[in-house]
Amino acid sequence: MKLSLSGKTIGNMTACLAVTLMALGVVFVFSASAKIDVEYDLAKFYSYPEFRQAVFFLISILILFGLSLINYRILAFKSGNWKGWIPNPAVWLVFVSIILLVMVLIPGIGVEINYARRWLRIPLGPASINFQPSELAKWSLVLFIPAVSALLGEKIKRFKNFAILCVVIGLIAGLIVIEDFGTAFFVAFVSFVILFIAGAKWWHFLTPLPILAILFTLAIITSPERRERIKTFINPDSSTAQTSGYQVKQSLIAISTGRILGKGLGGGISKYGHLPEDTTDFIFAIIAEELGFVGVCFVILLFIFFLVLGVIIIGRCKDDFGKLLAFGIVLAITSQAVMNLGVVTRLLPTKGIALPFISAGGTHLFLTAAAVGILVSIAGRAEDA
């Protein structure tokens, strides 16, 4: 018996799954924000991250469904016509990303949080948003590379074309790496995988790899904080309260004390000042603490389900651009999830990387929702062509 589902149904399922994950995020951002003796002053609604997250969630839903209505093919380049690039949103996004990435590095414009200048503050009345350009840059590449690859077709196998794309990726990753090693590494990784799948010759990758390797090694060596992170990953017991090792240790305490059934929703203790970044990068530890292994399985299965839907969408899509774009989106979201979960469970060294859909933060939620919106659009248009 063959289960036959229409592209629209697959798209709707994907959208519902994304909304479920985001809703889960809202619940746990709220739970993880718990503080003793906090008295909410609802006149300052937007100053509480947990309430902002709920608002972000609603906006994200609008973004998701809004973008799913738009045909994703507007992101593709009109073949052979370089002038056709000018109105293309993917190109604009890459340009805007580069400009914002430069801006964020300028003291006074970029906002520093936890000793890293990664944010731009966008004043929106009471609800000013800290915007993270590196997030935008990541998604701009996920849109841009498939578009260029699809346009080039077999010509991507030419080294000249490959090199031009490498320069764009290198420029963006280079700008990000100054303040955010983890995201830079991730952006480079996702970009190159998309390029590879697009058909670039495997030995072409050997040329930028040494340069990137040197770049990242330098980035690690020059930063005492990163060296510390690697050190505490290799030798976790040498950590003190001020180091990242402390954070991971608290994360492991949170996860393991949740045991199989968890301490109950809202019943976690680690969020009360013990585990730093509990609403953002380490929110999974809070889920594991409060819902136990059962909750862990639930979250992981949701992501796997998302992956499966992604594979179906890729398989059903008939044009290379759509396939590549869908692959890029699915890869970006799920591999980021794996990295985040790897850090939280100390399978990987610490780096600041959010859990898609779930971690607190407007930028990442809006952009992830937008990406899923595009994915839904791809799914829904698999039958036309």
Selected from 193, 215, 219, 220, the binder of another protein by CB under 8 A is 193
The distance of closest approach from Cβ of residue 340 to another protein in the complex, given in angstroms and rounded to an integer, is 9
The distance of closest approach from Cβ of residue 324 to another protein in the complex, given in angstroms and rounded to an integer, is 7
Selected from 182, 208, 292, 361, the binder of another protein by CB under 8 A is 292
Selected from 126, 225, 338, 383, the binder of another protein by CB under 8 A is 338
Interatomic CA distance for residues 36 and 284, integer angstroms:
21
Under rule CB under 8 A, residue 174 binds another protein:
no
Under rule CB under 8 A, residue 73 binds another protein:
no
Q: What DSSP assignment string belongs to 230-257?
A: HHHHHSGGG--TTSHHHHHHHHHHHHHH
Under rule CB under 8 A, residue 337 binds another protein:
yes
Strands (E), the chain: 110-113, 116-122, 129-131
Long-range contacts of 315-321 (CB under 8 A, 24+ apart): 316/7, 316/10, 316/379, 316/382, 317/378, 317/379, 317/382, 318/382, 318/385, 319/73, 319/150, 319/385, 320/149, 320/150, 320/153, 320/198, 321/73, 321/75, 321/76, 321/146, 321/147, 321/149, 321/150
Under rule CB under 8 A, residue 307 binds another protein:
yes
At position 287, the amino acid (one-letter code) is: I
Closest to 379 (Cα-Cα) out of 305, 317, 300, 301 = 317
The distance of closest approach from Cβ of residue 229 to another protein in the complex, given in angstroms and rounded to an integer, is 19
Q: What is the DSSP letter of 227?
A: H
Under rule CB under 8 A, residue 314 binds another protein:
yes
The distance of closest approach from Cβ of residue 323 to another protein in the complex, given in angstroms and rounded to an integer, is 6
Per-position x/- string for 105-144, each x denoting binding to another protein as judged by CB under 8 A, each - no binding: ----------------------------------------
- Site residues (vs another protein, CB under 8 A): 36-37, 193, 196-199, 249, 252-253, 255-260, 269-270, 272-274, 288, 292-293, 296-297, 300, 303-304, 307, 310-311, 314, 320, 323-324, 327, 330-331, 334-335, 337-338, 341-342, 345, 347
